[in-house]
Amino acid sequence: MKLTPRAEDAYSLQSYQGGASIEGVEIVELRRFNDDAGSMTELGRLQAGMLDGVDGFEAAQINFSTLEAGAIKAFHLHRRQTDVWYVPPADRIMLVLSDQREGSPTAETTMRLMIGDGRSRLVRIPPGVAHGCRNMGTSTASIIYFCDVQFSPEPESCDEGRLPWDWLGSEIWEMSRE
């Protein structure tokens, strides 16, 4: 079909191939069991602190966090800690990851993905990968996450560093309009 010249100039094809990936970031699909009364998702089985399905990850702490509708919580990274995030399927959070590890084959690579959003999966975030999130829903969202280093608010042992919320530009937090 022939388009008007103006439409032809603006016309492009949307990519459905997915974005770049970051070395060490792992997504684990989970099973959700449903019955007439509701559902249950097994987040993980622990054997002496080792989380099945996430090789080499030993859980030291499990946390629950909430994020208000529309809120952005970004960017932070850890030098030692690995996080494994889970967002319940009823919630919808945009997770932005950026590899800040010097010498990494994927250094400076950025990933954006929706978590929750009707799916049950875990996302492994290695040390040195900056991460932040935005609640895309209209109500408070929940995040449950495992970490392999226990949290400490003490400056000499804290492993939670911050980067500016707009480290990758403020537009990173906007919905794609393609």
Q: What is the pTM of this model?
A: 0.83
Q: How does pLDDT run across 21-53, given as a tens digit for each residue?
A: 999 998 888 877 777 867 777 777 778 888 888
11 within some domain:
no
6 within some domain:
no
CA distances in angstroms from 50 to 58, 74, 122, 131, 138, listed in the order given = 4, 28, 15, 23, 35
177 within some domain:
no
Q: What is the domain extent for residue 33?
A: 19-161
174 within some domain:
no
128 within some domain:
yes
The whole-number average pLDDT for the span 100-121 is 94
> Structurally, how many domains does the chain consist of?
1
37 within some domain:
yes
Partners of 112 in the β-ladder: 96
9 within some domain:
no
Ordered strands of the 92-99 beta sheet: 110-116, 92-99, 129-135, 72-77, 161-162
- Cα–Cα distance, 67 to 42 (Å, whole number): 22
110 within some domain:
yes
